[in-house]
Structure 1
Amino acid sequence: MPDWLIATGLIGAVLFGLLSAFFPPLNAEIYALAAPVIFPDAWVLHVCAMTAGLVVGKMSHFVIADKGAEAYSRRREAKEAREAAEPRHPSGPIRGRLTRWSKAMIDVLDRPRLGPLVMLGSSAVGFPPLAVVTVAAGIKRVNMVLFFVVTTVGCLGRFIVTAWLVARGMSLGQ
């Protein structure tokens, strides 16, 4: 395969990862599935490049959430003050459970052992969704380096395993 095609593909991989961080229908797993088929000799490089783009995009979400945490706190306090003054309307049981689950997840993120496990699970398995965990970690002001490392390891592991399974399946089929 020509070097220029591999280089162009790497730039495309980074851009795909970056765009998938902002536009969920561009699913990063799809790229990991396609990389061994399109670039059979260099799929590891392409998956790493795509993961780098994805993590850079997620880091931008993290930073924005971190910077907006103070404004978020002020708005929430004002909302809670308004809600305390107004009569409460009953919410459904599903909404109540989701609210409790979201609060519990955010509360756990700043714990020294459970927080990184939630981040690793989110990036390696996809549950809870990485987009939600990213914003929640930014709001909780989790250590940025810790978030970056754990997210990179989890995402890279998930995408490398996915692409390896495709590459392995292709080699068994020949």
Structure 2
Amino acid sequence: MSILAEAAVALGYGLASALVPVVNSEAYAVVAGHRGGQAIIAVVALALGQTAGKLLLFESARRGSGQLAQKIAQRSGAGRAAARAARWTEPIRRWLSRRRTALPTVLVSAAVGVPPLAVVSVAAGTTGLRRGEFAVACLLGRATRFALLALPALLA
């Protein structure tokens, strides 16, 4: 596959995996490492696609945060599901609302996966975190994650 085709496929796959949870970008990174040659291009394009998808979630939450807050308030009486969601979202929103913990939270989530990056993306959109800072932290974390997954296969 040519370099341009590899980059386009990896970018599209990264975007799809950011929005559809069953599409696994980590598996794509490992396969790219096994194929060798253009693994770096695949990793960077995959990270760019993931970041673009997470920015869509971020912006959706930012623009609809008033409506989102109303829906959460309405459903807060829904019982166990609401309690479980609150256990994840409230600490994350607290971390993201503080300037000194917001970027490390996004970076760790993007690199490690805990807390889930999809949850962090939506929560970050409602807290006032700057779009550019979110994008850079997300891109660095994702690129690091995918490079570390592709590296053993590339070296084997």
**Normalising to structure 1: TM-score of the pair?**
0.80
- 1:14 aligned residue: 11
2:26 pairs with 1:29: yes
- 1:51 aligned residue: 47
**1:98, CA displacement in angstroms?**
4.8
Measured in 2, the distance between the counterparts of 1:99 and 1:59 equals 22
Measured in 1, the distance between the counterparts of 2:17 and 2:84 equals 29
Measured in 1, the distance between the counterparts of 2:59 and 2:44 equals 22
Q: Letter of the aligned partner of 2:51 in structure 1?
A: V
Paired residue total: 156
Q: Letter of the aligned partner of 2:123 in structure 1?
A: A
**1:112, CA displacement in angstroms?**
1.2
Q: Letter of the aligned partner of 2:52 in structure 1?
A: V
**1:150, CA displacement in angstroms?**
0.6
Residue range with higher mean Cα deviation, 122-131 or 18-27: 18-27
**1:60, CA displacement in angstroms?**
0.8
Distance 1:9 1:70, change over 3 A: same
Once the two structures are superposed, the pairs formed by residues 9-158 of structure 1 within 5 Å of their partners are: 9-38=6-35, 40-76=36-72, 79=74, 91=79, 96=83, 98-158=85-145
Unmatched 5+ residue regions in structure 2? none
Does the 8 Å contact 2:3/2:41 carry over to 1? no
Distance 1:71 1:95, change over 3 A: closer
Residue range with higher mean Cα deviation, 101-110 or 12-21: 101-110
Measured in 1, the distance between the counterparts of 2:151 and 2:115 equals 24
Unmatched 5+ residue regions in structure 1? none
Measured in 1, the distance between the counterparts of 2:45 and 2:147 equals 11
Q: Which of 143, 146, 154 lines up with 1:159 in the alignment? A: 146
Measured in 1, the distance between the counterparts of 2:82 and 2:12 equals 36
Distance 1:14 1:74, change over 3 A: same
Residue range with higher mean Cα deviation, 52-61 or 98-107: 98-107
Measured in 2, the distance between the counterparts of 1:53 and 1:95 equals 31
RMSD: 2.2
**Normalising to structure 2: TM-score of the pair?**
0.89
